[in-house]
């Protein structure tokens, strides 16, 4: 669907060395990254803080925080040197509105929100924009992963409501990146009408 004007990379977002190697190994025609969309993120389980698995917490932190930070760190210097760029970080309403079982996932998305604002403060005079896009309930593979592949349980999350879609979120990201260069959308929160 993307066509010939694409270059795919496959690496573990939790592996900082793999991120650095991927960015440093980009072909010349793809190395001047203008827009970075940090979309890697996951939630594991819905247990309370007292019953959650420490390995799940570590995986969420490694993906939602460390992977996002390492990717940004690898790409940002080029944007600053070229005096143009846009970092779009995918947060979540879970970073603002706590819910039972959201413990480390919600905390990691609160980090994404604050990190985005701090990046914005560091980059305001470098012509690099930063946006935190914070969706609510969206029907993607997110809940299937959260419930360890149990599609029935994942479908139950959206019972009786119409969730937002991946396309809704993509359209929102696209809009933020297509604003005139002098406009920075700091934070955008979106939810399903019935959430």
- Residues recognised as catalytic: 105
Single out the residue of 67, 77, 75, 88 nearest to residue 135, CA to CA. 88
CA 164 to CA 70: how far, in whole Å? Answer: 29
CA 43 to CA 100: how far, in whole Å? Answer: 13
Neighbouring C-beta atoms of residue 130, cutoff 10 Å? 26
CA 59 to CA 42: how far, in whole Å? Answer: 9
Single out the residue of 90, 115, 94, 117 nearest to residue 173, CA to CA. 90
Q: Cα–chain-centroid distance for residue 150?
A: 23
Per DSSP bridges, beta strands 128-135 and 85-90 are parallel
């Amino acid at each position: 669907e993307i066509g010939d004007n694409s270059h795919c990379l496959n690496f573990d977002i939790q592996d900082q060395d793999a991120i650095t190697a991927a960015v440093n190994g980009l072909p010349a025609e793809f190395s001047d990254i203008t827009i970075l969309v940090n979309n890697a993120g996951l939630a594991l389980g819905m247990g309370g803080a007292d019953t959650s698995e420490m390995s799940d917490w570590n995986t969420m932190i490694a993906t939602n925080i460390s992977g996002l930070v390492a990717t940004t760190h690898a790409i940002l210097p080029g944007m600053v040197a070229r005096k143009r760029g846009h970092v779009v970080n995918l947060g979540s309403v879970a970073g603002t509105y706590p819910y039972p079982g959201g413990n480390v996932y919600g905390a990691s998305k609160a980090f994404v929100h604050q990190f985005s604002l701090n990046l914005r403060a560091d980059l305001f005079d470098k012509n690099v924009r930063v946006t935190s896009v914070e969706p609510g309930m969206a029907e993607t593979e997110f809940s299937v992963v959260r419930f360890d592949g149990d599609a029935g349980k994942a479908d139950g999350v959206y019972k009786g409501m119409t969730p937002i879609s991946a396309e809704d979120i993509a359209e929102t990201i696209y809009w933020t990146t297509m604003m005139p260069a002098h406009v920075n959308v700091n934070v955008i929160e979106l939810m399903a009408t019935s959430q």
